[in-house]
Amino acid sequence: MNQVTIKNNFITLTVLDYGAIIQKLIIKNKDGVDTNVVVGLEEPEKYLTDNKSLGACIGRYAGRISNGGFHINNVHYPIFAKDGVHLHGGQKGFGKRYWTIEQVHDGENPFVKLTYLSPDMEEGYPGNLKCTVTYKLVGPSLFIIHEATTDKATPVNLTNHSYFNLDGEETIDHWNLRLSCPEYLETDAKLLPTGKILSVKNSKYDFLEMKKIGQVRLDTPFVMDSSLKNGTVLTSDKSGLSMEVVTNQPGVVVYTPPAFAAICFETQNFPDAPNQPHFPNSILQPGETYLNESEFRFSFVN
């Protein structure tokens, strides 16, 4: 297992070739103290048995797919499902594969680029999918750029599954959260989308205005609206850190794990889009390039 670290004046980032995992993301807090703002494992080998997708690249399809499969051009493709749910690309998704460290740039705007070739019918998905993930530091921002091309029509939905904790505290109740998400996807008992897109108004999912997370716990697909003036922001008064999330994706799954203090912003297409015709298109065609570009911008709370 190989490890790469890049840094600029604001951020130090450590990435593993296994799962293209973000192991450490270190920011200086308001007191000038280095703070690792992602939950990670100190020993890289422990990621081999991690089942939480800590910091991993998720694919070929992030999130849940229903009915144990999908159809493309009237052909049914069965995929692994547990209790009728396919999650995060199957039994051995991209977060459990070794990637190739293709390029490391240490100069201005340092970056590390990793590649993975997902072969035709891996985990039941058609097409040889060439994937690239680039982690790039620009000032106080981390850019995560997922790209992919295929030789057969296939569902693609890539994201990063980092768990953020801005202050090292053991509770998230005091963190402030704003989501530029006026709608969310209704989900059933298995957290599969029902197909309904609902307004957040008068629901526990209304974070259109900045407020404490409090007792609200989330495992929720939200609909992003980039036209909103107020962006998606997480802040900690204790550390003084603020993180804004900007993406070209139509959705974000916001997840607060029950076992430890953290929050995930899984910027992506909608879960189960291959089986929901009115959701944004999730099928990548030969000759097209999939692109998920997300920015995590750090600053200090005024």
What residues have CB less than 8 Å from 100, skipping those under 6 apart? 17, 114, 115, 116
The verdict on whether residue 83 carries a ligand-binding annotation is no
For the beta carbon of residue 259, count every other beta carbon within 10 angstroms: 6
Q: Verify whether residue 88 is a known catalytic residue.
A: no
The verdict on whether residue 219 carries a ligand-binding annotation is yes
Would you call 135 helix, strand, or coil by DSSP?
Answer: strand
The verdict on whether residue 71 carries a ligand-binding annotation is no
Q: Pick from 268, 267, 251, 271: which is nearest to 63 by CA?
A: 271
Quick one: how many helices (H) and strands (E) in the chain?
A: 0, 26
Copy the structure tokens of residue 264: 């995930």
Measured distance CA(102)–CA(147) in Å, rounded:
14
Cis peptide before 60 (omega within 30 of 0): yes
Please compute Rg for the chain using Cα positions. Answer: 18
Among residues 86, 161, 183, 244, the one annotated as catalytic is: 161
Measured distance CA(95)–CA(241) in Å, rounded:
28
The verdict on whether residue 77 carries a ligand-binding annotation is no
- Output the CA–CA distances (angstroms, integers) from residue 114 to 33, 42, 53, 97, 242, in the order listed: 30, 21, 18, 12, 28
Residues in a beta bridge with 66: 85
Q: Verify whether residue 266 is a known catalytic residue.
A: yes
Exposed, middle or buried: residue 240 (CB in 10 Å: 0-12, 13-18, 19+)? middle
Whether the CB-CB separation of 123 and 91 falls below 8 Å is answered with yes
Residues forming the active site: 161, 266
Binding residues, by number, are 161-163, 219
Binding residues for beta-D-galactose, by number, are 161-163, 219
